Amino acid sequence: MRVPWRTTLLSYTFLAPALILLGVFTFYPLLYGSYLGFTEYNGARFAQGLDPKWVGTANFEKLFADPLFMTALQNSLKYLLVVPALQLAALGVAVLVNKQLPGMAIFRAGFYVPVVTSISLAAVMWEWVFNREGTLNWLLRSLGLTSPEAQFGWLNSEVWAFWAVMLVTFWRGFGYYMVLYLAGLQNIPEELEEAAVLDGASAWQRFWKITVPLMRPTILLCTLLSTIAALRVLEEVLVLTNGGPLNSTYTALMYVFSKAFQGFDFDYGLASAAGLVVAAVALVLSFVNFKLFNRPEEEQT
């Protein structure tokens, strides 16, 4: 069917504002940033008003020879462990709070509070939790699991700081994904559940045979968002550990941030190259997510 040119023009006119904004604030920075990854563009060149200088893959060679970047990349990949834990917990709790019971709205709002809490406030709060004299040690001691002599500051431990920061990421993201799952759950037709109940299906069977298959698009979306967020984790690390101790919490985005934005010794070329590596990892993981969760309809039933 041929679309009249007037209709086409009108459609593009409506699309134009969004396309222009996307072009200016998304596609241009993306392309320019990718280009910078192949250039030498540091504080000295910038201050002298010199253009970026093409250096091919030199930045990437430098990156992969830098032990700090390799540690940062490994930490970022390890950080992805938060994704399945976060998704399972958010989906599970969403199912629990998807009930029309009195006071349930308060529970839902409560879970969402960490999402809107500022990171500086969250940092102060979690400092109290993780300190040597903090609430976590108090709890463990009260339960008889540790002695006062064995206590330590969780954020100062090379072994535990990483998991402590990850717990904060979990806490901050949990409510957000739960709300998305809740929205997905409320789109599942009630008749399906009722029919399954009449057929004698248990709650567990209903969850796996009805809820999970129908929630697959939401699970894909949440997993994708969560994977990308885990690869981009920065704020929690900056305010709680600044990448330490011994770089055990130093992530790839922190490397990008330090090279691009910290002080006058910046190196946009190297930062952009590091950003491209992180983006490439994100793309590969997104592809894996699509393969896992975006099966055709007939396969799902």
* 247 in contact with another protein (CB under 8 A): yes
Is 153 an interacting residue with respect to another protein (CB under 8 A)? yes
> Shortest approach of another protein to residue 240 CB, angstroms?
9
Residues in contact with another protein, counted by CB under 8 A, come to a total of: 27
> Which is nearest to 256 in space by CA: 236, 283, 231?
231
Residue from 10, 109, 124, 246 that binds another protein (CB under 8 A)?
246
Between 159 and 284, CB nearer to another protein: 159
* Cα–Cα distance for residue pair 141/130, rounded to 1 Å: 13
* C-beta atoms surrounding 180 within 10 Å: 19
Of the residues 25, 32, 54, 261, which one makes contact with another protein according to CB under 8 A:
261
- The binder of another protein chosen from 43, 92, 110, 217 (CB under 8 A): 43
Per CB under 8 A, 137 contacts another protein:
no
Q: DSSP code of 42? A: B
- 102, with CB counted inside 10 A (0-12, 13-18, 19+), is exposed
CA dihedral 205, 208, 210, 214 (to 10 degrees): 180
Q: Name the residue with tokens 């985005």.
A: 253
The smaller minimum CB distance to another protein, of residues 241 and 289, is found at: 241
DSSP assigned state of 150: G
Closest CB 113 distance from another protein, rounded Å: 25
The nearer residue to another protein, 37 or 153, going by C-beta atoms, is 153
**Span interacting with another protein, options 198-206, 259-267, 275-283, 288-296, rule CB under 8 A:** 259-267
Separation between Cα atoms, residue 105 and residue 110, nearest integer Å: 8
CA 128 to centroid of chain Cα atoms: 24
Q: Which of 107, 112, 138, 152 binds another protein (CB under 8 A)?
A: 152
Residue in 77, 244, 282, 293 binding another protein, rule: CB under 8 A: 244
Residue 160 contacts another protein per CB under 8 A: no
Amino acid code (one letter) for 47: A
In one-letter notation, the amino acid at residue 151 is: Q
Region near another protein per CB under 8 A, out of 2-10, 32-40, 255-263, 274-282? 255-263
The interface with another protein within residues 196-225 (CB under 8 A) comprises none
Q: In terms of Cα–Cα distance, which of 191, 220, 219 is closest to 206?
A: 191
Least distance between another protein and beta carbon 100 (Å): 45
| Helix-then-strand count for the chain, H and E | 18, 2
Letters for 55-94 (x = contact with another protein by CB under 8 A, - = none) are -------------x--------------------------
Which of 128, 214, 274 has the alpha carbon at shortest distance from 282?
274
Helices 67-79, 58-65: inter-axial angle, 10-degree rounding: 80
What are the residues binding another protein (CB under 8 A)? 42-44, 46-48, 68, 131-132, 152-153, 155-156, 158, 241-242, 244-247, 258, 261-266
